Copies of this chain bind each other. A is one copy, B any other.
């Protein structure tokens, strides 16, 4: 199937919708051009389809949590689930409350508290955590230029009080092993990674091919672990909009406040969309809309 025509058809339908606004909680994110729009699809047979600003870098933010999960899951295996759950969190607003009632165990690895635990685990395992993690990401994608963005890191650090609250609360329950400063530094770097839609789509393709990258043939994860990460994305990938995304798009995926979304159609493709304006729940407005129309049009859904 040639997706290029479908991309431009769908884009016409949503081009002039203009809801939502660019993330402003850190200064660096608010500087982005809000009219940008890109999409890139990569099939497990390594075909590529692009549209719009698909080759422009953006901050993938929380999408990177899935990559931290992949590495931590490989290192810890099923022990991982003693320190973080696999259940949806209900609402964003509950996060600190839930962490308190659950005695410092985050609901799942894709909320902030969960990714902070992943960061702590990676620091405990790796000798040079930041260096080894970005090497892991480059290895998955086969793209050696993917990197952290120091400006974003600096910007996050200047306003990351809420995340610092989360990590201190977990430390009080004994669920953080390393120094708080080191955990925060890793976490802010993790969230600062920049990719283009094309890079993002290629990087996540191993999750559409049961753990093995179709490009390099390198096995990143076992089949079972790969499926389980998809299951976690399905239930927890969009905060309190996970149900809505499942309902309308029907694929496992993950969003970031930079306006990016990646979604996986197992055994077929991965797709990355980018549009900076966010809806009220912090997910890309046009990104979700585009994916909804795309999966309807192409009749692709895991359900």
Residues in A lying within 8 Å of B, measured CB to CB: 85-91, 93-94, 96-98, 100-101, 107-108, 159, 161-162, 164-166, 168-169, 171-172, 180, 224, 226-228, 230-232, 234-236, 240-244, 246-247, 250, 252, 266, 296, 301-303
Contacts and interface: CB of A to CB of B under 8 A. Distances in A.
Contacts of A243: 85-88, 108, 231-232, 235-236
B244 A227 contact: no
A161 B165 contact: no
Given A90-B98, A171-B161, A232 B252 contact: no
Interface of A is mostly: helix
Given A88-B88, A90-B88, A227 B240 contact: no
Contacts of A236: 243
Contacts of A226: 303
B91 A90 contact: yes
Contacts of A172: 159, 161-162, 165
Contacts of A164: 164-165, 168
